[in-house]
Amino acid sequence: MVAQLDYPTMKEIFRRFAEANPHPEGELEHVNAFTLLVAVALSAQATDVGVNKATRSLWPVADTPQKMLALGEEGLIEHIKSIGLYRTKAKNVIALSRLLVERFGGQVPSSRAALVSLPGVGRKTANVVLNMGWGHPAQAVDTHIFRVGNRSGICPGKDVDVVERAIEDNVPVEYQRHAHHWLILHGRYICTARKPRCADCLIRDLCRFEEKTA
């Protein structure tokens, strides 16, 4: 495992990310906190592109927990059957919609503990909702961040919890609000799994990855 980068290097890396993309955004389409929560839950083991394609017809008819319950599990399946594990996901979305109505007044809660109490919602999903829905600097570590963090030294760790803590502990606070978006986008489009595009990388000179491509 590569060593954690030092503070001056981290500050320069995120300065460059911020300069190149001052307002990074997640790529899952949503219209409010509820649709964001559902979209992230649907995205497990699926692509954002695939989820967006399915939800474009879903949000106009089910953008609140109450409307989702009215649509029902079979109605939901008709919208999301192109997504992997759609039956399990449909069951979870209906169950979490019911709990939102029964326990939280039909509103998406703003604490991690409350969010992860919902069916199909894990820590990563909760962190995405806290970050994008509430502006909290929560770090949602996915496979892209795990790869980038361990290759570069930005946030190395043996598992996602350690990587999450490394981001929280080492990214300068003024960059933490958007840190996980910059890292996800960097991993998705530049520091790709099979053949990273090192020649196009804006932090190439600061990265600890030894097997850089031309």
**Is 142 labeled as catalytic in the residue annotation?**
yes
Question: Cα dihedral sign for 8, 10, 14, 19?
Answer: positive
**Is 53 labeled as catalytic in the residue annotation?**
no
Catalytic entry in 142, 158, 161, 195: 142
Catalytic entry in 124, 158, 195, 205: 124
Identify residue 170 by its one-letter amino acid code.
N
Tokens describing residue 146: 């795990």
Active site residues: 124, 142
